[in-house]
Each structure stands twice: as structure tokens, then as C-alpha cells.
């Protein structure tokens, strides 16, 4: 429990981060920027985990550990995603997402 | 438990031969395959003989007569705790006798075919099918329960179909094989329903339970009836329908004469000696059930058998195709066997008909196989089935001539040939039962002698025809089976059948009844003499007689138009008024509905496929928007 700061403040921050991430993912054309947007979404979720753990079950640690795992997984995911992006760049000579549209009917 | 475990090999060796011959793709000389099949069959034959000698003579009857022995048994399908379908081997007097009959005739046919089928395309296939047939037929007679019998029953049907259609380039052979299959399959429908009805009420498939003399399994539902007739009578009538289909009893006989399209050795094996008596065997197998539970059905068996024997004998007199004459004669003789079963009682002297039927089955298998193989030998020499193309062959084919004569004398019931003894027992049994049936059988005996000797004189006597090449005696591989079977035809009458194969498995003494035997011999001789007068020297007398008979002759010659009646019923009535509307309904309504569903799906997907743009962000937007809508609706609308 952090004195003077109610839970809403944290939740509002994480919600804003989440929707900024979603908007970035949908709007930005650059694949790297989109990846960053995804990281933003992940981190907003991390904040939620930590906050709920702290405010609802202060004597337990599951939320924290989940967060740590997510950070780890996000790191590997970023590595994979960047590898993919490099491959895409080699193939299309561009990392603009609208150019990568071969997967359709 | 018994020393008979090896009997399972008797059907399994032909099965192995079938698999080997059927799957082997090496290009050996055809004769090698023939020898392989024959050796396999020979092994089965030796094993069967050993079994028979062991069963009948070494072990012999116990205090209650011959005990049925279950040599091996495997539970195949366990339907419920008590109802299960087994596969096994059962030995009792009739199955052991059938083993000997089948393996003997089959071995002879295997041997004979090496000569007869020489140079035919598909020699290997022929032997594979012969082995398949032998396997199925042996499995049929060894069945421990009625369901196993049904399985093998269908298998013999299939192998018969395959062998009739052996010359599959020939449209008539294809038509004949289809006809045989469809007619017998139709009859088997009745058989299957009969089995189901019977097992529904008795809760068992096993012959051992069904045919035990003092069984109580029928008592519970003995009073159940359907349209005024007890269910067991219905069940047995339906089972007899299956038997009548396979044994070609009137009115399901139409397939047998056409089945002669198959190679002649096949006709000898399947359509004379073994498969067509499966119906007789079935009735004999179920005889205690018929006798105690469904005497009405047994009476039907007797009358159907009696009628068929006369009916077929009449037609046989007018046919010109020698194989067809023999086919109708087979019908007639199987009619005899059915009649004998139908008039039989149970136990001791009462069971004379049962014993006579089995006796006749045995002797008939020998002499009818001989007749067919002899006919095959003639066809081999003359290259024609039509007796108008034959005459004076006795000089060219002495062995065929002598053996054929023996077979003709045997079937005509002339002593001391075997046919005399078995036919005599049947006549005595019929005499004790009904005068009408008895006189029908007398007339048939005379007709039999007449048409057989008509065939004999027209083929072997009379004027010589213009042949493609001088007819020659068949090779030794074909004449040896003829001689063996002739030997069997002469002497099998002296087998002590009444001590070995009886309804309650306890032997009894029989004697020749002079009052019955003498007239039957006389009427046989009369038939021969008439044939002698008419056909020994070719004359115009037979022609003028047929002309005088006019319409009667025409009707008989056309087999009383039974085939046309069937065709009318199926083609005109069933096809036009049932099949066509049903086919229309199927094509237009059922198919139309299904096709409609397909078309609508195709159209819709064509319209909406644009949604799949390949743009990742469109998908992501749709996903997020959908999730938002779901979440919002869950939060605000549903709560």
C-alpha cells in the first residue's frame, strides 16, 4: 500500500498505456514502431499485475513473479520479432506493413 | 481337449493358397500355380479323410451316438455377456461327411482344371478363386454357430459370383454372375432376418444349444406368434428362404441354369456338388429346430422340394445345352434332398428321410460332379455346348463315354450303382409321409432316367457331326478325376450311411424295400428304354412329338417363362413405378438440397472474401473492435 496514492491512479496510467499501444499497433506503418506498441501493451499489463498484487494481496508475490516472467518472454519475443522483421526487410526491401500483404485470398 | 485341433487346417490351407495365388505376381508357368493349388487341396483332402476315419471308425459312436465335437473355438464378437459370435470348428456326422464330399470333389476339380483350363487367360486367378471357394465352403460346413455359417455363406456367394463371371469379357457371363449374386443375396436377406428373429427369442447363435434334443430355450417364447403363426415357424421359414436361394429351389432357381456360363469345372464344383447343397445342409443342420419348433416350415420344405424336383425334370427334357440339362437335373436332385428332409421324422427309423437326404447329397455330389466333368470333357473335344453339334462321340472318347454312362445309370437309380440306394431311401421316406409326394418322386425318377439318357444317346450315339477337328479323348489329367469319381459313384452306395449319419446321431439298420425299389427301378428302365427308342438312332420321331405337344413344349422349352415373369416384375413394375420415382426424388430433392447448400456457401464466400485483405492492421483493428464490443456489451447490456 502506497500512502496517498489510490489504486485508480495506477489503473488509469496502465489503461492509457494499453490504448496508446493498441492505437500505435493499428495506426503506425513501421513494423519496428508496431513492435514497440506491442511492448507498450505488455508493459501496461505488467503494471496491472503488480498493482493488483500490491493492493489486494500484499502478503503474496504471484503478481510480481508473473511480471518478471512476462518481461523475460517479452525480451525473447522482441528478439524473434526483430529477426522476422529483418527477414521481411530482405524480401521486400521495406518494413512498411502495408507492403507485406501477400497473405490474402 | 480333443485330438481334433488340426481340423482347423482343413479350411485354412485353401485360404493360404488363395492368398498366395492371389497376391503372387511372379511370371511362372501357369501350370505351377495349378500344381500349387492342387497340392494345397490335396493336403486338405488327406486331413479330411483322416478326420472322417478317426471320427466315424476309430473313435466311433458313444452311448448317445456320435457326439458333436467343438475342435477349436475363438470368441470373435462379444455382443453381450451371453450373446457372442464365435468362429470355430465343429465336427459332427454331417459336417465330417461334408468335409469329405467337398475336399474330394474340390481336389478332383483342381486336378481336372489343369487340363481343362490349359492356356486360358487368368489361370492363376482361376486357381485363387477355386481355393477361396473351397475355404469358404469348408468354413461353412464346419461352423459352430449360425452366424459363422452366415459369414461363410456370403463368402461362397462371392466366390461363386467371381467364378461364374470368370470370362468377364463375355457379356452373358457378366449378366449371369450378377443374376446369381442378386438372386442369392435377395434370399440371404431372408436368412439374415431369420437368424435375427431366432436369436432374439433364443438368445443364442450356437448350433449346440439350438439343436440339443431336450432344449428349453424355445419354451419361453413358444407361444409368441405373428399373424397367427408362431415366431419360430417364421424364423425357420425365413432361414429356409436363404437355403432355397442357395440351393436354387423354385421360385428362386432362375440363377442356376444361367450360372453355367462359368467354366465347366466350376459348374461341377460349385453348381452341382457343393455350394448348391449348402441349403440342404442348412436345413439338415437346423433339423431339430425345424422338427420340434416349426413342423409347418418343414412341410413347406417338403413341398417346395417335391415341386422343384418335378418342375426341373420336366424342363430338363427339352433343353439342348448339355450343361443346362445337367443344371436342371441338379435342381431336380436337390429337390429330392429337400423333400427327404421335409418328410423326415426325428430319431431312429423315423429319421429315415434325414439320413436318406444326406446319403443322396453324398452320392449326388459324386455322380453329378462326374457328369459335369464328363460334359466338360465333351465340350473340350467338340468346342460347343449344344447337343445338336454332337453325336457318335463314343468312338473317339472311350473313357469319357464309359464314365458318363456310369454316371447316367447312377442318377437313373439303376442298381447296384450308388444312386439307387440313396434314391430308394428317399422314396421310402416319402412313401411313409404322403402319397402325392411319393408319386411326384416316382414320375421324376422316370423323367430323370429319360432326360439323362436322351443326353447320353444324343451325344455318344447317333450320327457323327461335322467337327472342327477330329474329337479326341481328353488328357490323362482330366480322365483320372473322371475315373476316380466313377469309382465313387459305383461304390459309395455301399457305405453304411444309416449307421453313421442320422438325425439323432444314433445309427439304425435299413433294408431295401422291395415294394418301393422294384417299381422305381422299373420306371427308371422305362425312361431309359424310351430314350433308347427315340434317340439311339436319329429319327424325326422326337421332332414330330414336340410338334404335337405344341404350346406345352414351347412353354417347357422356355422354362415356363419364369425368367420373363421375373423380368416383368423387376423391369416393368419395380423399375418404373418404384425405382424411377425414388431416383427422381433422390436426384432432384435430396441432391438438390445438398447442391443448394454448397452453392449458397460458395456465393457468400465469394462475396465476403474481399474482407481478407492481407493488411495486418485491418485484422488487428477488427480484433480489437470485436473485443471491445464484446466487453462493452457484457458490461452494460447483459448484466
pLDDT digits (tens, 9 = 90+) for A32-91: 999 999 999 999 999 999 999 988 888 889 899 999 999 999 999 999 999 999 999 998
pLDDT digits (tens, 9 = 90+) for B492-524: 878 777 777 777 777 777 766 777 778 888 888
Position B260 confidence tier, pLDDT thresholds 50, 70, 90: confident
Residue B1 has pLDDT above 70, yes or no: no
The residue that leads in pLDDT, B543 or B445, is B445
Closest by CA to B429, choosing from B445, B444, B441, B446, is B441
Give the domain-ending residue among B557, B586, B608: B557
Residue B615 with chain A: CB contacts under 8 Å: 97-98, 101
B111 and B43 within one domain: yes
Instruction: Check residue B269 and give left, alpha or beta (phi > 0: left; psi -120 to 50: alpha).
Output: alpha
Which of B65-69, B196-200, B360-364, B507-511 has the least mean pLDDT? Answer: B507-511
Percentage, residues of chain B above pLDDT 70: 97
**Minimal Cα distance from A26: which residue of B?**
B617
CA B289 to chain centroid: 22
Instruction: Return the pLDDT at B512.
Output: 66
**Minimal Cα distance from B622: which residue of A?**
A26
B115 and B13 within one domain: yes
The sign of the dihedral angle between the CA atoms of B386, B392, B397, B398 is positive
Residue span of the structural domain in which B613 resides = 566-638
Give the separation between CA B324 and CA B316, rounded to whole angstroms: 7
Instruction: Return the pLDDT at B222.
Output: 66
Asked if the Cβ–Cβ distance from A25 to B613 is below 8 Å, we say no
B580 and B551 within one domain: no
Give the separation between CA B252 and CA B232, rounded to whole angstroms: 22
- Mean pLDDT, all residues of chain B: 84
Of B615, B621, B624, the CB nearest to A98: B615
Instruction: Return the pLDDT at B562.
Output: 79
> B15 to chain A, minimum CA–CA distance in Å?
55
B338 and B233 within one domain: yes
Preferred mutation among B604, B605, B615, B631 to probe A, highest tally of A CBs within 10 A = B615
pLDDT digits (tens, 9 = 90+) for B305-327: 888 888 888 888 888 888 888 88
B338 and B470 within one domain: yes
Give the separation between CA B86 and CA B80, rounded to whole angstroms: 13
**Minimal Cα distance from A25: which residue of B?**
B617
Asked if the Cβ–Cβ distance from A25 to B615 is below 8 Å, we say no
B263 and B379 within one domain: yes
Preferred mutation among B602, B610, B611, B616 to probe A, highest tally of A CBs within 10 A = B616
The residue that leads in pLDDT, A19 or B229, is A19
Asked if the Cβ–Cβ distance from B614 to A101 is below 8 Å, we say yes
Asked if the Cβ–Cβ distance from B620 to A26 is below 8 Å, we say yes
Residue B321's beta-bridge partner residues? Answer: B386
Instruction: Return the pLDDT at B294.
Output: 81
Here the cell at position B2 is 480333443
Residue B65's beta-bridge partner residues? Answer: B62
B525 and B584 within one domain: no
Give the separation between CA B547 and CA B556, rounded to whole angstroms: 13
> B637 to chain A, minimum CA–CA distance in Å?
22
Helix (H) or strand (E) run with residue B468 in it: none
**Minimal Cα distance from B606: which residue of A?**
A105
Q: What is the mean pLDDT of residues B225-236?
A: 79
Cβ contact B165:B177 at 8 Å: yes
Give me the number of domains chain B comprises. 2
Position B84 confidence tier, pLDDT thresholds 50, 70, 90: confident
Residues belonging to chain A with any Cβ–Cβ distance to chain B shorter than 8 Å: 22, 25-27, 97-98, 100-105
Residue A98 with chain B: CB contacts under 8 Å: 615, 617
Residue B474 has pLDDT above 90, yes or no: no
**Minimal Cα distance from B612: which residue of A?**
A104
pLDDT digits (tens, 9 = 90+) for A75-101: 999 999 999 999 999 988 888 888 887
Residue B2 has pLDDT above 60, yes or no: no
Q: A with B: how many residue pairs have Cβ under 8 Å apart?
A: 27
Residue B609 with chain A: CB contacts under 8 Å: 105
B581 and B517 within one domain: no
Residue B624 with chain A: CB contacts under 8 Å: 22, 26
B574 and B473 within one domain: no
B153 and B59 within one domain: yes
B629 and B491 within one domain: no
B501 and B586 within one domain: no
> B638 to chain A, minimum CA–CA distance in Å?
23
Asked if the Cβ–Cβ distance from A26 to B612 is below 8 Å, we say no
Q: What is the mean pLDDT of residues B404-408?
A: 89
Of B615, B620, B624, the CB nearest to A101: B615
Q: Look at chain B and count its residues.
A: 639
Residue B616 with chain A: CB contacts under 8 Å: 97, 100-101
Q: In the 8-state DSSP scheme, what is residue B561?
A: G
**Minimal Cα distance from A34: which residue of B?**
B617
> A3 to chain B, minimum CA–CA distance in Å?
31
Task: Give the predicted TM-score (pTM) of the model.
Answer: 0.77
pLDDT digits (tens, 9 = 90+) for B3-22: 788 888 888 888 998 998 88
**Minimal Cα distance from B605: which residue of A?**
A105
Give the separation between CA B413 and CA B429, rounded to whole angstroms: 16
Give the domain-ending residue among B505, B531, B557: B557
Residue A22 with chain B: CB contacts under 8 Å: 624
Which of B536-545, B558-567, B571-580 has the least mean pLDDT? Answer: B536-545
Asked if the Cβ–Cβ distance from A26 to B609 is below 8 Å, we say no
**Minimal Cα distance from B607: which residue of A?**
A105
pLDDT digits (tens, 9 = 90+) for B22-45: 888 777 888 888 888 889 889 999
Of A22, A26, A103, the CB nearest to B614: A103
The residue that leads in pLDDT, B64 or B165, is B165
Cβ contact B199:B306 at 8 Å: no
Give the domain-ending residue among B500, B523, B557: B557
Amino acid at each position: 500500500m502506497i500512502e496517498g496514492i489510490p489504486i485508480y491512479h495506477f489503473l488509469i496510467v496502465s489503461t492509457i498505456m494499453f490504448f496508446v499501444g493498441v492505437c500505435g499497433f493499428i495506426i503506425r506503418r513501421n513494423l519496428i514502431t508496431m513492435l514497440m506498441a506491442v511492448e507498450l501493451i505488455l508493459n501496461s499489463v505488467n503494471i496491472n499485475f503488480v498493482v493488483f498484487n500490491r493492493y489486494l494481496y500484499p502478503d503474496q508475490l504471484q503478481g510480481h513473479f508473473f511480471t518478471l516472467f512476462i518481461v523475460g518472454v517479452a525480451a525473447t519475443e522482441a528478439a524473434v520479432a526483430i529477426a522476422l522483421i529483418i527477414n521481411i526487410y530482405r524480401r521486400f526491401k521495406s518494413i512498411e506493413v502495408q507492403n507485406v500483404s501477400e497473405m490474402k485470398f | 481337449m480333443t485330438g481334433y485341433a488340426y481340423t482347423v487346417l482343413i479350411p485354412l490351407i485353401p485360404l493360404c493358397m488363395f492368398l498366395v495365388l492371389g497376391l503372387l505376381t511372379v511370371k511362372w508357368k501357369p501350370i505351377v500355380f495349378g500344381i500349387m493349388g492342387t497340392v494345397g487341396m490335396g493336403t486338405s483332402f488327406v486331413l479330411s479323410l483322416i478326420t472322417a476315419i478317426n471320427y466315424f471308425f476309430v473313435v466311433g459312436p458313444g452311448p448317445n451316438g456320435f457326439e458333436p465335437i467343438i475342435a477349436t473355438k475363438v470368441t470373435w464378437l462379444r455382443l453381450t455377456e451371453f450373446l457372442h459370435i464365435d468362429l470355430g470348428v465343429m465336427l459332427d456326422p454331417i459336417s465330417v461327411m461334408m468335409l469329405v464330399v467337398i475336399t474330394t470333389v474340390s481336389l478332383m476339380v483342381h486336378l481336372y482344371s489343369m487340363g481343362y483350363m490349359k492356356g486360358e487367360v487368368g489361370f492363376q486367378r482361376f486357381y485363387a478363386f477355386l481355393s477361396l471357394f473351397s475355404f469358404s465352403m469348408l468354413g461353412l460346413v464346419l461352423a459352430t454357430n449360425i452366424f459363422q455359417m452366415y459369414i461363410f455363406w456370403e463368402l461362397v456367394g462371392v466366390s461363386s459370383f467371381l467364378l461364374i463371371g470368370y470370362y468377364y469379357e463375355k457379356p452373358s457371363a457378366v449378366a449371369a454372375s450378377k443374376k446369381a449374386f442378386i438372386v442369392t443375396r435377395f434370399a440371404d436377406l431372408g436368412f439374415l432376418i431369420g437368424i435375427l428373429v431366432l436369436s432374439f427369442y433364443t438368445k443364442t447363435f450356437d448350433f449346440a444349444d439350438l439343436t440339443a434334443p431336450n432344449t428349453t430355450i424355445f419354451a419361453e417364447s413358444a407361444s409368441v406368434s405373428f399373424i397367427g403363426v408362431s415366431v419360430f415357424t417364421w424364423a425357420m421359414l425365413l432361414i429356409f428362404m436363404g437355403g432355397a436361394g442357395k440351393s436354387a429351389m423354385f421360385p428362386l432357381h432362375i440363377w442356376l441354369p444361367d450360372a453355367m456360363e462359368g467354366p465347366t469345372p466350376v459348374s461341377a464344383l460349385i453348381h452341382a456338388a457343393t455350394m448348391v447343397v449348402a441349403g440342404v445342409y442348412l436345413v439338415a443342420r437346423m433339423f431339430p429346430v425345424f422338427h420340434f419348433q416349426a413342423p409347418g416350415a418343414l412341410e413347406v420344405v417338403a413341398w417346395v422340394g417335391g415341386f422343384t424336383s418335378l418342375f426341373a425334370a420336366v424342363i430338363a427334357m427339352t433343353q439342348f445345352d448339355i450343361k443346362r440339362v445337367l443344371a436342371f437335373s441338379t435342381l431336380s436332385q436337390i429337390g429330392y434332398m429337400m423333400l427327404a428332409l421335409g418328410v423326415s421324422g426325428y430319431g431312429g427309423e423315423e429319421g429315415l428321410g434325414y439320413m436318406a437326404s444326406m446319403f443322396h447329397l453324398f452320392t449326388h455330389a459324386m455322380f453329378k460332379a462326374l457328369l459335369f466333368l464328363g460334359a466338360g470333357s465333351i465340350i473340350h473335344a467338340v468346342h460347343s455346348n449344344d447337343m445338336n453339334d454332337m453325336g457318335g462321340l463314343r468312338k473317339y472318347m472311350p473313357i469319357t463315354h464309359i464314365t458318363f454312362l456310369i454316371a447316367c445309370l447312377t442318377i437313373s437309380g439303376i442298381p447296384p450303382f450308388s444312386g439307387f440306394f440313396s434314391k430308394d431311401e428317399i422314396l421310402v421316406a416319402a412313401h411313409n409321409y404322403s402319397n402325392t409326394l411319393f408319386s411326384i418322386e416316382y414320375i421324376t425318377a422316370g423323367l430323370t432316367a429319360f432326360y439323362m439318357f436322351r443326353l447320353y444317346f444324343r451325344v455318344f450315339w447317333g450320327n457323327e457331326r461335322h467337327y472342327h477337328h477330329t474329337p479326341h479323348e481328353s488328357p490323362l489329367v482330366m480322365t483320372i478325376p473322371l475315373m476316380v469319381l466313377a469309382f465313387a459313384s459305383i461304390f459309395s452306395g455301399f457305405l453304411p450311411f444309416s449307421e453313421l449319419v442320422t438325425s439323432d446321431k444314433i445309427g439304425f439298420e435299413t433294408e431295401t424295400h422291395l415294394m418301393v425299389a422294384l417299381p422305381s427301378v422299373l420306371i427308371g428302365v422305362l425312361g431309359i428304354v424310351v430314350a433308347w427308342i427315340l434317340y439311339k438312332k436319329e429319327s424325326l420321331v422326337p421332332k414330330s412329338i414336340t410338334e404335337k405337344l405344341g404350346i406345352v413344349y414351347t412353354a417347357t422349352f422356355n422354362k415356363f417363362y419364369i425368367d420373363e415373369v421375373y423380368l416383368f416384375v423387376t423391369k416393368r413394375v419395380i423399375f418404373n413405378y418404384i425405382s424411377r420415382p425414388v431416383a427422381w426424388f433422390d436426384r432432384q430433392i435430396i441432391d438438390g438440397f445438398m447442391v443448394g447448400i454448397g452453392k449458397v456457401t460458395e456465393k457468400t464466400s465469394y462475396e465476403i472474401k474481399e474482407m481478407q485483405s492481407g493488411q495486418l492492421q485491418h485484422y488487428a483493428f477488427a480484433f480489437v473492435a470485436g473485443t471491445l464490443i464484446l466487453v462493452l456489451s457484457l458490461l452494460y447490456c447483459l448484466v
